[in-house]
Amino acid sequence: MKHPLRRAAAAGCAVLCLAGAALAQAPASSAPSTSTARADARPVVTTLSNGMTVIVKPDRRAPTAVHMLWVRVGAMDEVDGTTGVAHALEHLMFKGTPTLAPGEFSKRVAAMGGRENAFTGRDYTGYHQQIPSNRLEEVMKLEADVFAHNRWADDEFRHELEVVKEERRLRTEDSPRARLYEVISGTTFLASPYRRPISGWPSDLDSMTPQDARDFYRRWYTPSNAAVVVAGDVDPKEVVRLAQKYYGAIPSRALPDRKPRGEPPQVGIRRVELKAPAEQSYVALSFKVPQLRTFDADPQGDDALALTVLAAVLDGYSGARLDRALTQGPDRVADSAGAGNGLWGRGPQLFTLDGVPAPGKTPEQVEAALRAEVARVARDGVTEAELQRVKTRWIAAEVYKLDSVFSQARELGSYWAQGLPLDAGERLIERLKGVTAQQVQSVATRYFGDDQLTVGILRPLPRDPNARPAAPSVNLRH
């Protein structure tokens, strides 16, 4: 099933985070209205005296709650020489405080009948627990302690760093497509910190010290750079009271200046290749495109929305344009083909096209076929029927996904972390409804030239029969 908004390009999602707009396979004829399918109340937003944001979204359909702590810091805030430290610190946040032994946090959440984990991206880091709603206070007390008083011994750092290295080996070094996207990101972006991998470069991980992680924690883990998000069977006033009790007394520190790191204009196509053991070759095309930064009148934002719809027309449902043109019939050139558009984020965004050549076909043939489909839209436009189909499916998928309390909390946290309004989902639906066929055709003519394009090709090599098995040798959190 295609993800409704944030479709990542194949196995490169963990490396390049190429957000896309392929639409979910929701029934086109039964999209519910946002007023009935969303949870039963608007989010309540409070700012504590120390600058921490508290967001509460009641949903009383089940006696469960999701508690999330978001920190507006990720891989893009690292500096060269310490790449991977944001992810390493995420692991270390479970390694204790003066009152919690290493691993005790996870054990206590499990004893409540809950689940917990964390994630690191380019734009943010998040920690989450899903628990019975009557255990919320216990979880908030635990997470506030960890956020304010994180402590760990150097031996714990060294052990967890080996876990991080193993994750990198499993998710990147053992995945040819993930390695390709790592090369693509380093070629596509010259100045933007998006050029660096979230998992970190191996040499930086090898040289990382406990003090690197402690410095990153002290620099960025301050209340004014964090938000608590709670969704589920809760009372907003009580959640705010608990947040003030457990998070409100944490002292805030001044944040470092975040200086702009704009990407210089690209002049000319960029091409990279990776040779790696793989069953099939693969090609990925990344075009620099504008992003949605505001819901006010903005031509760049209008183009970002039209590009999102274009991606859905190309690859938003079974039998969409790329599927029909590239993967079907006796002369098909691809076993699979996809498209996605990065709509928003703290850094620059990309429109991606990707494909796996069919037997006897080359990556170059797939590249040409992918570009030909965009050129066809630029020449002939799209039909109103196509627009209606993808919009209806997208709206349905956006509504249905909020049946999950976890999805509600994660959506609100991601909006906050990226500086978007908390009703960005509803605003986006309304804006996408207004995208016209003319706008889609216009962006197809303007954003797909060579001066915006980086092409990456995976050239398969025979697999080494003596290569290490692709299986974890340590206990991975994620």
Query: Does an H or E element contain 111, and which?
Result: helix 104-111
Give CA–CA dist 286/307, Å, rounded. Answer: 13
- Non-local (6+) Cβ contacts of 427 within 8 A are 295, 421
Give CA–CA dist 182/196, Å, rounded. Answer: 8
Distance of CA 186 to the CA centre of its chain: 18
Give CA–CA dist 23/1, Å, rounded. Answer: 9
DSSP string, 210-266: HHHHHHHHHHH-SGGGEEEEEEES--HHHHHHHHHHHTTTSPP-PPPP----PPPPP
Half-sphere exposure of 426 (CA within 13 A, CB side): 14
The answer to whether 398 and 4 have CB atoms below 8 angstroms apart is: yes
* 36-90: pLDDT as tens digits: 334 457 899 999 999 999 999 999 999 999 999 999 999 999 999 999 999 999 9
Give just the sign of the alpha carbon dihedral 461, 467, 471, 476: negative
3-state secondary structure of 58: strand
The answer to whether 227 and 46 have CB atoms below 8 angstroms apart is: no
The answer to whether 100 and 145 have CB atoms below 8 angstroms apart is: yes
The pLDDT score that the predictor gives to residue 467 is: 65
Give CA–CA dist 225/207, Å, rounded. Answer: 28
Q: Specify the DSSP class assigned to residue 68.
A: E
Catalytic residue among 90, 116, 143, 182: 90
The pLDDT score that the predictor gives to residue 396 is: 84
Report the DSSP beta bridge partners of residue 352. 286, 340
Tell me which amino acid residue 368 is.
A
* 389-416: pLDDT as tens digits: 998 888 888 778 778 999 999 999 999 9
* 415-452: pLDDT as tens digits: 999 999 999 988 999 999 999 999 999 999 999 999 99
- Mean pLDDT estimate for the chain: 89
Look at the block and give the residue holding tokens 């990707």.
Answer: 354
DSSP string, 296-321: SS-HHHHHHHHHHHHHHHHHSSTT-H
User: Encoding tokens for residue 133?
Assistant: 């709603």
Domains annotated on the chain, with CATH? 10-27+262-461 (3.30.830.10), 40-246 (3.30.830.10)
The pLDDT score that the predictor gives to residue 405 is: 95
Q: Specify the DSSP class assigned to residue 77.
A: G
Q: Is 90 a catalytic residue?
A: yes
Tell me which amino acid residue 348 is.
P
Is the whole model's pTM more than 0.75, yes or no? yes
- Characterize the bridge pairing of strands 125-132 and 115-120: antiparallel
Give CA–CA dist 273/121, Å, rounded. Answer: 25
Half-sphere exposure of 79 (CA within 13 A, CB side): 8
Closest CA to 9 of 338, 279, 458, 362: 338
3-state secondary structure of 323: helix
Between 24-28, 205-209, 324-328, 346-350, the lowest mean confidence (pLDDT) is in: 24-28
